[in-house]
Structure 1
């Protein structure tokens, strides 16, 4: 059963990402790049190499913030792709046992059939807690609706 109002699941494919956080990170990255580059151009005593180092530093800061902003969880008919800061992992629906977003968690955690837990940074309550709760419930509902497990293996039990 789904915790969604009206038990409606999102239409696949669906992408979950922290929209407000993403906007803040990308805007901050652009602003930092422009300010650092502007300062480099305005400082008359800097040579071309020094100006270039300012611009490259601004570009690196923007790149780092863009990496933080790229996190997402993409659900489609065959499974889920989790894109975190430095990694991407593809999961079949049956590999996901449970979707967790407990009070105080920085993001959703996916409990997997191999006994591990995978952080899914694409759903995080940072700036927009209610949206994260809604997205976590939607993903949980999709997992429950799409997971096909061996009926002789209880959910959550180690499969050896």
Structure 2
């Protein structure tokens, strides 16, 4: 049965939706630059209006940067899940199951306290096969270090 088990990544390892992050940060930077250049080129704007344009552009960039923040970092002691505004540290023993079922927007971790924690750092949006590989790797790590199991598409 170990022949079908995916190879475990070397710890520490960080899983994140890289393509999504690149798209969000590139779009944010491009929009910031465009809005700032427009604010500087419009001669009829007062200095206060120009500052407001740049502030709104920075706010827009900040929101996209926040959306690109999610990641899941695994090390010998456990897993750190960083979502939009929440960061949670979990010991391996707390993770009972790693779920990425067909149609799920991201991985869910079933925890020993009876709750489920979304792990937005592994999401199949723009890179489905990469998300499945990452979910399988996290599941394999959870099984090796704790008591994890899986509902990843194509596993079994």
Q: TM-score, normalised by structure 2?
A: 0.91
CA distance in 2, matches of 1:102, 1:2: 22
Q: Is the Cα–Cα contact under 8 Å of residues 32 and 54 in structure 2 kept in the other structure? A: yes
Q: Is the Cα–Cα contact under 8 Å of residues 2 and 137 in structure 1 kept in the other structure? A: no
CA distance in 1, matches of 2:91, 2:147: 10
Q: Is the Cα–Cα contact under 8 Å of residues 6 and 137 in structure 2 kept in the other structure? A: no
The residue aligned with 1:35 is 34
Structure 1 residue runs of 4 or more that deviate by more than 2 Å after TM superposition: none
- RMSD, aligned CA: 1.8
Give per-residue Cα distances to partners, 1:74-106, cap 9 Å, x unaligned. 000000000000110000000000000000000
Equivalences for residues 126-145 of structure 1 within 5 A? 126-145=125-144
Count of aligned pairs between the two proteins? 149
CA distance in 1, matches of 2:80, 2:15: 10
- Change in CA separation of 1:7 and 1:127 when aligned onto 2, cut-off 3 Å: closer
Tell me the CA shift for residue 2 of structure 1. 6.7
CA distance in 1, matches of 2:91, 2:66: 25
The residue aligned with 2:87 is 88
Give per-residue Cα distances to partners, 1:10-69, cap 9 Å, x unaligned. 000000000100000000000010011111011110000000000000001101100111
The residue aligned with 2:10 is 11
Query: Which ranges of structure 2 fall in alignment gaps of 5 or more residues?
Result: 150-156
Query: Which ranges of structure 1 fall in alignment gaps of 5 or more residues?
Result: 150-154, 156-160
Q: TM-score, normalised by structure 1?
A: 0.89
Q: Work out whether 1:68 is the aligned partner of 2:73.
A: no
